[in-house]
Amino acid sequence: MKFCPRCGTLMAPRRENEQVVYVCPKCGHREGAAGAGDVASRVLVTTIKHSEKEKLVVIESNMEEKLLPKTRIQCPRCSHDEAYYWVVQTRRADEPPTRFYKCTKCGHVWREYD
Ligand SMILES: [Zn+2]
Ligand SMILES: [Zn+2]
């Protein structure tokens, strides 16, 4: 749905040269399908969000354990009392980062909720 910026009439989409243009039936005003740009930026945002999520999964499963610091905390799965830990900024920058743990014995990964 697109309205003419000049007279406010509902413009009709028309296919011209493999492109969609909107033409006002009242005053003849023509406009390119500006909505295409919006769709493109929306797709881009979705892609970025998706890859951030994937990055997080990678961090959770393939973290270089040798480089990680250890802390004394009880594993919820096997009750072992030592785990590697790392911190991930999963939400907005003004919120505190989430701490993840990985049991040094059974490899179970869990996150600390605040
Ligand atoms: Zn018009
Ligand atoms: Zn464990």
- Residue 59 in this model has a pLDDT that exceeds 80: no
Q: What is the pTM of this model?
A: 0.42
**In what side-by-side order are the strands of the sheet with 19-23?**
12-16, 19-23, 30-32
Annotated binding site: 4, 7, 24, 27, 75, 78, 103, 106
Q: In order of start, what are the domains of the chain with their CATH numbers?
A: 1-46 (2.20.25), 52-112 (2.20.25.10)
Distance 22 CA to ligand 1 centre (A): 10
Q: Helix (H, G, I), strand (E, B), or coil: what is residue 90?
A: coil
Question: Higher pLDDT residue, 98 or 57?
Answer: 98
Q: Helix (H, G, I), strand (E, B), or coil: what is residue 59?
A: helix
Report the pLDDT value the prediction gives residue 105, as an integer from 0 to 100: 94
- Residue 50 in this model has a pLDDT that exceeds 60: no
Contact present, 103 and 76 (Cβ < 8 Å): no
Report the pLDDT value the prediction gives residue 54, as an integer from 0 to 100: 54
